[in-house]
Amino acid sequence: MPKTIWVLGFGSLFMDMSSELVHSLLPVFMATVLGASMVTIGIIEGIAEATAAVVKVFSGALSDYFRKRKFLIVLGYGLGALAKPIFPLATTIGWVFGARFVDRIGKGIRGAPRDALIADVTPPPIRGAAYGLRQALDTVGAILGPLLALALMVWFANDIKAVLWVAVIPAFVAVALLFLAVREPEAPTLAPEPAAGAKRSMLAGAGHLPLRYWLVVALGAIFTLARFSEAFLILRATDVGVALAYVPAIMVVMNLVYAVFAYAAGAASDRLPARTLLVIGLGALIVADLVLALAATPWVAFAGAAFWGLHMALTQGLLAKLVADTAPAALRGSAFGIFNLVSGGALLLASLIAGWLWSVFGPAATFMAGAAFALVAAMGLLLYRPKPRLPVSG
């Protein structure tokens, strides 16, 4: 496995430790301290993720146009780090929205160039494993963040703002690590033969992406519509009686399962048909939604979160691999940017619907709707038989 994959993975680990420490408490902070409604939370989460998706299009295209990935990766992580102190300083919901906006702009800037760099430096036969490894390390950070939040909530006697200040430290560690240790290949290795139009305009290359790539984009949108912001998992935990100090545990459970299975699922995607893993992933999401819809105790909610994490492990690395496999080398940054733009729009819509269903019909309706959509997506994936199958390996 190339050294760059490990560096990107540990950079993601530290940044996700910071981000998940914040996110495991932020929905409760917005709802209880700042008095935000479920619809408002859904809007903030949806817009934040959609913003990241829009920015990814331009950052991915820029990394293709200038043949440089590292600068944009470090810039994106830097913005994420600079946003972290705003959360504990927030006194109104507007401050939180602003911090989430800056944070997601940073995520948008770094996401597509980072995913493209993984494909640039990794041989095709182990590409799925490379995406799985980075995702697994990222998810280890997503476990450590909520665990740290749990310990600090006890240490600081439920003072959420004091806990949020701690998140600043690992964020800046991530920026320093990536700035000092990331190495990218020379431009000729990245793109021996730039696609026609790729250098003429940063976004012109989108017209040269093949049909099989656009099928992957459609798949990603369908999968995203079938789920919504993980903020609703945290709110469900409080709804079934999890004490405020222990609310981050719901994210620990989800991300622990995610981390355990992410690398294995990524490696499996190098050998098994994509359709098989995607259907299994949708099945895990259906189970997660049903369990969370019917949950009446904390333990049942934790079980639902575990299945949610299994779904993420089975699908997220695989979808990234499919994007890398179906996009020309000269347009990988643009390809990841477009993929994330479409998925971000789907997440915005899904989160808005989830917040509205929660407010009008209750939390059970939110998760039942997610299960219904995931079931339709799984049935469509099983019934659809395109003549050219989606490639599974490079």
Candidate from 3-7, 63-67, 115-119, 200-204 with smallest mean pLDDT: 200-204
State the chain's mean pLDDT as an integer: 80
Is this prediction's pTM over 0.75?
no
Backbone phi, then psi, for 290, in 5-degree steps? -65, -45
**Percent of the chain topping pLDDT 70:** 88
Confidence (pLDDT) at 205: 57
CA distance 146 to 166: 12
Q: Is the pLDDT of residue 163 over 70?
A: yes
Candidate from 39-53, 278-292, 325-339 with smallest mean pLDDT: 39-53
**Helix pair angle (168-181, 70-83), 10° resolution:** 170
DSSP 32: I
Cα torsion 329, 331, 333, 337 to 10°: value is: -140
Q: What is the pLDDT of residues 165-224, one digit of tens each?
A: 999 999 999 999 999 988 877 654 444 444 444 444 445 556 677 888 888 888 888 877
- Quickly list DSSP for 289-305: HHHHHH--SHHHHHHHH
Please report which helix (H) or strand (E) contains residue 44, including its range. Answer: helix 38-66
Q: What is the pLDDT of residues 316-354, one digit of tens each?
A: 777 877 887 888 877 777 788 788 778 877 877 887 888
For the stretch 170-200, what's the b/e string if a residue is b when 16 or more beta carbons lie within 10 angstroms of its beta carbon? bbbbbbebbeeebebeeeeebbeebbeebbe
CA-closest candidate to residue 317, choices 279, 272, 265, 271 = 265
